[in-house]
Amino acid sequence: MPAAATKTHKPKKLSEKKAERLRTILAALDMLYPNVTCALHHGNAWELLVATILSAQCTDERVNKVTPDLFRKYPSIRAFANVPQAELAQDIHSTGFFNNKSKSIIGAANKLLNEFNGEIPRDIDQLLTVPGAARKTANVVLGTAFGIASGVVVDTHVQRICQRLELTKESDPVKIERDLMAILPQDRWISFSHQVIHFGRNICVARKPKCAECPLQTICRAPDKTVP
């Protein structure tokens, strides 16, 4: 599996105080989730693309319940390309937004067959031309399937927690990603998002953060912190 992105990235220079804070955050995430990877079950890059499209506005747990039967029924990209949209929409109904998702998946299958010889492109600009593959999805697929650090995945957990930890002041995912790419070493772009997502599900829970269990509570200045 090829590892790094082709372009060399050098993080911007931070003040010693901010650099030490970032090191503390990364060390805590490494301690909590040393070998974490994408929570979406998949057997290849195409299945990961489908699963990631399905995960929009849906839990990974629900997607993982749907995809085993889905991939047995449609075992190839061509099978997805040929399925009637109404049938696929019914198959993925429980993931929500099933009409849009089924249209994207069928469109992605046809695009890959017609323009990329049935292969997932390993260039982010090419992958972004595939239906359903917006930047977050493209980063997930390239990072997890191919080990290519094309950017930083910004989902709702990453957005919320990076704001809480003052790694960004932005609210737009594209701008948040830009901020994170500027300060994180490129070899952390892939693992960082997976770690933060697990951190957001297990400790820094949106409705009730478990601050007493958090190794970062001493440097966290979030207004709803539950420990002094």
Report the alpha-carbon distance of residue 149 to residue 157 in Å, rounded: 19
**What letter does residue 68 receive in the DSSP assignment?**
H
Q: At what angle do helices 45-54 and 135-146 cross, to 10 degrees?
A: 150
Report the alpha-carbon distance of residue 161 to residue 167 in Å, rounded: 9
Concerning whether 69 is annotated as a catalytic residue, the answer is no
Which of 69, 136, 172, 225 is an active site residue? Answer: 136
Q: Which two tokens stand for residue 21?
A: 């804070």
Which of 30, 60, 155, 179 is an active site residue? Answer: 155
Q: Which two tokens stand for residue 154?
A: 């910004």
CA 28 to chain centre: 20
Q: Which two tokens stand for residue 84?
A: 């009637």
Amino acid (one-letter) located at 142: L
Amino acid (one-letter) located at 139: N
Concerning whether 155 is annotated as a catalytic residue, the answer is yes
Report the alpha-carbon distance of residue 43 to residue 27 in Å, rounded: 30
* Catalytic sites, residue numbers: 136, 155
